[in-house]
Amino acid sequence: MAFVGDRPDFVVGREGEEIKRDSYKDQGIAVFTSGGDSQGMNAAVRAVVRMGLYVGCRVYFIKEGYQGMCDGGDNFVEASWVSVSGIIHKGGTVIGSARCMEFRERPGKLKAAKNLIKRGITNLVVIGGDGSLTGAHMFRTMWADLLEELLKNGDISEAEKTKHSHLNIVGLVGSIDNDFCGTDMTIGTDSALHRIMECCDAISATAYSHQRCFIMEVMGRHCGYLALVAGLTSEADYVFIPENPPPTNWHEILGDRIKSARAMGHRLNVIIVAEGAIDQDGNAISCEMVKKVVVDETGMDTRITILGHVQRGGAPSGFDRVLGSRMGAEAVLALMEATPSDEPCVISLAGNQAVRVPLMQCVLRTQAVTKAMAEKNWAEACALRGKSFLHNLDNYNKLISLKPPQITEDAGIARDGFNMGVMHVGSPCCGMNAAVMAYVRQCICRHDVVKGIHDGFEGLLEGNVEEMTWSQVTGWVGQGGAFLGTNRTCLPGPNLPKVAEAFRTHKLDSLLIIGGFEAYQAILQLYEARGQYKEFCIPMCVIPATINNDVPGSDLCVGVDTAVNEITEICDRIRQSAQGSKRRVFVVETMGGYCGYLATIAGMAGGADASYIFEEPFGVEELQRDVRHMATKMNEGVQRGLILRNGYANSNYSTEFISKLYSEEGKGIFTVRTNVLGHMQQGGSPSVFDRNMGTKMAQKVINWMSEAMRKNRQTDGSVHCESRQTAVLLGLRTSKYMFQPVDELKSAIDWNHHLPKDQWWLKLRPLKAILAEHKEDVIYTALNNK
Ligand SMILES: Nc1ncnc2c1ncn2[C@@H]1O[C@H](COP(=O)(O)OP(=O)(O)OP(=O)(O)O)[C@@H](O)[C@H]1O
Ligand SMILES: O=P(O)(O)OC[C@H]1O[C@](O)(CO)[C@@H](O)[C@@H]1O
Ligand SMILES: [Mg+2]
């Protein structure tokens, strides 16, 4: 979705057609949430309402899911712009949800159909899990038949039947389980993982103190996604999931694993059990059973913690708020663009893109997983869950198999492998340690030697280099900052001879730099100096890791997700601080260098009224317009305003200037307070996404590095390579990880501001504006058109 050329009151739908504001005047849309609630449902509801109003529809809530649809009456409520104010940060669903037996049966569906027809509603946005969407699919399949019966019973007229002959349905997958085939992530899963990870971190602390073994049950009646990802990102000793039951002798394996870990000096063990875990025969594996095995096999002091509904509660993560917002807006456009011959669709996430996938296809695939599990075809069940599931499973198995007992530090690891350097360049960020941990362990497994270079190039020049060990990186995945130390200012360029000498001294066969824009610059400088220094003719790679999200060649950097969450949470708290006080506007300054990603995405997640960034030039006109807009909102009952400003947005229109402007112009209407967030954005506990991304990227680099070193091994055993394909950056582009020569990325950069020329997220800004917009007469100009 984007604005069209110089006509900002038009948006373009996904298919390229123009949709004018009010182009669907008086169409009726209803939105409802169904099944288990999930964090982010409110963001989706808000987006459906506001995008629906933008295109001119009448929007209705159906309260309490299918139950409300069957019951009718007060459960149908017309929505307004204000009715979804102040809900984006709330967990659960403000319009209520239910599991409804009545709707499963024909009489229930008849009642629901009649209630819709009587209100002229034939456009539905269903937000729910696999069950809710399956129900929607059945409802639509039976629609013509239901209408026939309603007519026969005299419940509707012939005219009503003709007018409502077609039911349009678009589904949004809202469920913490991530069990619906066809989307990478369901709305709520990321937040549930946040909750689980907070608990894992907390449990680990008490487990450490008492040297205990903890068995944690996480949700997922039929799906092991939550357990799997939680296990991977908390370095759990064992994970039980339904799709991939453990070997029949799991009792012994589990016992041995725990005993070996203790022999290595580990003070604690964590075992994660999915609620729906089963064995090879399909029998449930409960926490009690696992506890008995642990106690019998090891005699360990063992405790069970069942997380339960805690996982579905609490504030949604930044990711879920943005996901819900994007999906909700896209659902409205999909409904409006649908023709009677179109199949109903589900709005799903493929990489960074919102895409429309046929509902029926997703339902059938989701049902196929159930069938595969019933037939004990585990490989098929895992494959049907999708690429991301398989990837996590593979990663988990590799990390686990990397752990003792197979490999111990004193087991005589061959020292004739490659010497692989790893360091950080740039500012620290969350997820860096996870990447180092995964890299180190897998190198050791391949019998390579990892040279950990402390404090970037400064450390290298000072000889601060050590061989890294297995146990050294235990527990690193969940830790923020950069244990290896990092340095932003010392680049190799001015010190090439000394850097070359250090490469020689440490006999480096490859180099991985995990860091920000400066990490990219460093590898580029080394690559460009290959002609003078043969020491730099080794495979080199960058993993982009910075909260700025300004590294070329990658849509996302490690560390960004944690920063977005930090900012989003702080904004929630800042806004809440003004509860009960008079109308107030907060001006919040975020980090990001020249990149406006954080201000934009955290602004979208926090429901900000405006966000000022360098990429979208603004001047007095825009500022005046926004101040007036804020005043209008306040006059109409909105109590608090939130303005985000990226630190480098404009050197003249500083944070202080903007605060003063709002203050002066808002006199008598609202007061203004300023917050400069600073380094708290870099800190905190790494989000699950960043832990996972760091681990995943390191895994990919290992494979690439090993192949590059092997291919370029000389007869004397040294490594020598010159091609541009051997100095690369690993980036996430749309939904693919790609190794791109650093040299090729040079032309994709605005070197004056250290920014990629093409930034995918800028296309989200018009949506952000629509969702924050209030008055009909306020027309936003879109960035893309400037
Ligand atoms: N086959 C079906 N036919 C009609 N309605 C269904 C069907 N399956 C589910 N529904 C309706 O959807 C509701 C929610 O389904 P379910 O309890 O499976 O939750 P869900 O949407 O899968 O969410 P989650 O699993 O995340 O809690 C059911 O209570 C029922 O009203
Ligand atoms: O709230 P209820 O009905 O107990 O639902 C619990 C179930 O909901 C889910 O969390 C999905 O929302 C399942 O994983 C879990 O088994
Ligand atoms: Mg379900």
Which letter does DSSP use for residue 310 in this model?
A: G
Confidence of residue 479 (pLDDT cuts 50, 70, 90): very high
Q: Which ligand is nearest to the CA of 33?
A: 1
Binding site members: 36, 99-100, 129-132, 175-177, 212, 219-221, 275, 303, 309-312, 488, 584, 591-593, 673, 679-682
Dist. CA 71–CA 628, nearest whole Å: 43
Residues in the chain: 786
pLDDT score recorded for residue 505: 97
pLDDT at 602 over 70: yes
- The two counts, helices (H) then strands (E), for the chain are 25, 28
**Mean pLDDT, range 115-142, rounded to an integer:** 94
Residue nearest to ligand 2 atom 2, measured at CA? 36
Question: If you measure from the C-alpha of residue 392 to the centroid of ligand 3, how many angstroms do you get, rounded to a whole number?
Answer: 21
Express each pLDDT in 61-96 by its tens digit. Answer: 999 999 999 999 999 999 998 899 889 999 999 999
Question: If you measure from the C-alpha of residue 179 to the centroid of ligand 1, how many angstroms do you get, rounded to a whole number?
Answer: 13
Residue nearest to ligand 1 atom 1, measured at CA? 135
Question: If you measure from the C-alpha of residue 344 to the centroid of ligand 3, how many angstroms do you get, rounded to a whole number?
Answer: 19
Lowest mean pLDDT among 144-153, 408-417, 558-567: 408-417
pLDDT at 58 over 70: yes
Q: Verify whether ligand 1 is closer than 6 Å to residue 68 (CB atom).
A: no
Express each pLDDT in 348-397 by its tens digit. Answer: 988 778 889 999 899 899 999 999 999 999 999 999 998 889 989 988 88
Structure tokens that stand for 471 in this block: 């146990």
Q: Who's near 206: CB < 8 A, 6+ residues apart?
A: 212
- Give the relative orientation of helices 597-606 and 318-337 as an angle to the nearest 10 degrees: 80
Structure-model confidence comparison of residues 399 and 335, the more confident one = 335
Q: Who's near 603: CB < 8 A, 6+ residues apart?
A: 610, 611, 642, 644, 768
Binding site members for Mg(2+): 130
Express each pLDDT in 631-657 by its tens digit. Answer: 888 887 778 899 999 999 999 999 999
Confidence of residue 196 (pLDDT cuts 50, 70, 90): very high
DSSP string, 513-555: EEESHHHHHHHHHHHHTTTT-GGG-S-EEEEEB-TT---TT-S
Sort strands 449-453 and 510-515 into parallel, antiparallel or unpaired: unpaired
Question: If you measure from the C-alpha of residue 99 to the centroid of ligand 1, how many angstroms do you get, rounded to a whole number?
Answer: 6
Structure tokens that stand for 221 in this block: 């009646």
Q: Verify whether ligand 1 is closer than 6 Å to residue 99 (CB atom).
A: yes
Chain centroid to Cα 51, Å, comes to 23
pLDDT at 659 over 60: yes
Closest atom of ligand 2 relative to the 226 alpha carbon: 14
Dist. CA 785–CA 334, nearest whole Å: 24
Q: What structural domains and CATH numbers belong to the chain?
A: 28-186+316-370 (3.40.50.450), 191-311 (3.40.50.460), 419-558+687-747 (3.40.50.450), 563-684+765-784 (3.40.50.460)
Pocket test for ligand 2, best of 175, 221, 241 (most atoms within 8 A of CB): 221
Choose among 543, 498, 496, 472: nearest CA to 694.
543
Confidence of residue 339 (pLDDT cuts 50, 70, 90): confident
Residue nearest to ligand 2 atom 11, measured at CA? 36
Identify whether the C-beta of residue 179 lies closer than 8 Å to the C-beta of residue 266: no
Q: Verify whether ligand 1 is closer than 6 Å to residue 103 (CB atom).
A: yes
Express each pLDDT in 687-720 by its tens digit. Answer: 999 999 999 999 999 999 999 999 999 999 899 9
pLDDT at 783 over 80: no
Dist. CA 304–CA 310, nearest whole Å: 15
Residue nearest to ligand 1 atom 20, measured at CA? 129
Dist. CA 659–CA 630, nearest whole Å: 13
Residue nearest to ligand 1 atom 19, measured at CA? 35
Binding site members for ATP: 36, 99-100, 129-132
Binding site members for beta-D-fructose 2,6-bisphosphate: 488, 584, 591-593, 673, 679-682
Confidence of residue 405 (pLDDT cuts 50, 70, 90): very low
pTM of the model: 0.92
Confidence of residue 474 (pLDDT cuts 50, 70, 90): confident
**Residues having CB within 6 Å of any atom of ligand 2:** 36, 99, 129, 175-177, 219-221, 275, 312
**Mean pLDDT, range 441-452, rounded to an integer:** 89
Question: If you measure from the C-alpha of residue 174 to the centroid of ligand 3, how many angstroms do you get, rounded to a whole number?
Answer: 9
Q: Verify whether ligand 1 is closer than 6 Å to residue 34 (CB atom).
A: yes
Q: Verify whether ligand 1 is closer than 6 Å to residue 189 (CB atom).
A: no
pLDDT score recorded for residue 564: 96
Structure tokens that stand for 316 in this block: 């949604």
Determine how many CB atoms are found less than 10 A away from the CB of residue 684.
Answer: 15
Average pLDDT, the chain: 90
pLDDT at 2 over 60: no
Closest atom of ligand 2 relative to the 35 alpha carbon: 12
- Residue corresponding to tokens 């196929």: 368
Residue nearest to ligand 1 atom 9, measured at CA? 131
Q: Verify whether ligand 1 is closer than 6 Å to residue 177 (CB atom).
A: yes
- Among 71, 177, 184, 690, the one annotated catalytic: 177
pLDDT score recorded for residue 19: 61
Known catalytic residue at 758: no
pLDDT at 677 over 90: no
Structure tokens that stand for 439 in this block: 């890299």
Q: What angle do CA 147, 347, 317 make, to 5 degrees?
A: 125
Dist. CA 169–CA 29, nearest whole Å: 10
Q: What type of residue sits at position 54?
A: Y
Identify whether the C-beta of residue 745 lies closer than 8 Å to the C-beta of residue 520: yes
Residue-wise burial string across 85-120, b where 16 or more C-beta atoms lie within 10 A, e elsewhere = bebbbbbbbbbbbbebebbeeeebbbbbbbbbbebe
Structure tokens that stand for 119 in this block: 């209100």
